[in-house]
Amino acid sequence: MRLLFLGDMVGKTGRTAVWERLPGLIADLKLDFVIVNGENAAGGFGITEDIYLETINAGADVVTTGNHVWDQKEAVTFCERHDQFLRPANYPAGTPGRGSGLYYARNGARVLVANIMGRVFMHPELDDPFKSAEAILSVCPLKEQADAIVFDFHAEATSEKQCFGHFVDGRASFVVGTHTHVPTADHQILNGGTAYMSDAGMCGDYDSSLGMEKEEPLNRFISKMPKGRFEAAHGPATICGVGVDISDRTGLAEKIAPVRIGPRLTETLPEFWR
């Protein structure tokens, strides 16, 4: 199975780049399954139902989120209407929406996708992400109820992300970190066969501060005083993510490589997809 994960879409420039390029990527690369993190898609803060639907229409099979999931008030209600929309699974019981789901890939494979949020340097501090993952895996084990299992681990600390990867190694197909908006260079297959990358990066304007126009963040670092609001940067976007080939026999990873399409960062596609 051939899977593409795209990191946090930031603002209009980020989401538009994804919508424009994704259909062609699915066709040209023969992608079986696509996951997109959309938690910063609405001006950098949250996601609206219209943006979610456009992302699904562009070819995403699942849209994940993170700590900004509720920044747009409508998300509290529309999350209940869409099974392909995920918020972190380790929110307390009774929180609207769902944190994981079982979906069918284009090749017929059953794909479990789970959205988990870390707790180190994160707000709000949610339930234990490791216990949450254990509960998900216990009811839907790899190669029993699911042919592939993917975790979007939305967290700040790379140590927490790496430990989470080791925790599910051999029991999940792929663990990818989101939230920091900067792609890491540690894509690898762990000892047990789980593909791992600490952060997929963002889909947005990299002439910025994490996808935001850089003047106001820079001002706050220097003066410690706000002069205005953070606004999503509007320059050309680079699409960042990661590609994984997953064994149909074992459900574990066979290959992993970064994906970067657009200006500023060096463009790259997995050689095994060319």
Residue ranges at the known binding site for Fe cation = 8, 39-40, 67, 154, 179, 181
Report yes or no: 42 and 13 within 8 Å, Cβ to Cβ: no
3-state secondary structure of 72: coil
Residues 6+ apart with CB under 8 A from 194: 165, 168, 169, 170, 171, 172, 173, 174, 175, 252, 253
Cα 32 from Cα 162, distance rounded (Å) = 26
Task: Give the DSSP per-residue string, 183-224.
Answer: --S--EE-TTS-EEES---EEB-SSSBTTB-SHHHHHHHHHS
166 is catalytic: no
Determine which helix (DSSP H) or strand (DSSP E) holds 178, and give its type and residue range: strand 174-178
Report the C-alpha gap between 204 and 8 in whole angstroms. 8
Q: Which of 68, 82, 123, 234 is catalytic?
A: 68
CB atoms within 10 A of CB 210: 19
Cα separation of 83 and 106, whole Å?
A: 17
In angstroms, the first-to-last Cα distance of the chain is 15
Number of residues that this document lists for the chain: 274
Rounded to whole angstroms, the Cα distance separating 208 from 21 reads 21
Residues with catalytic function: 68
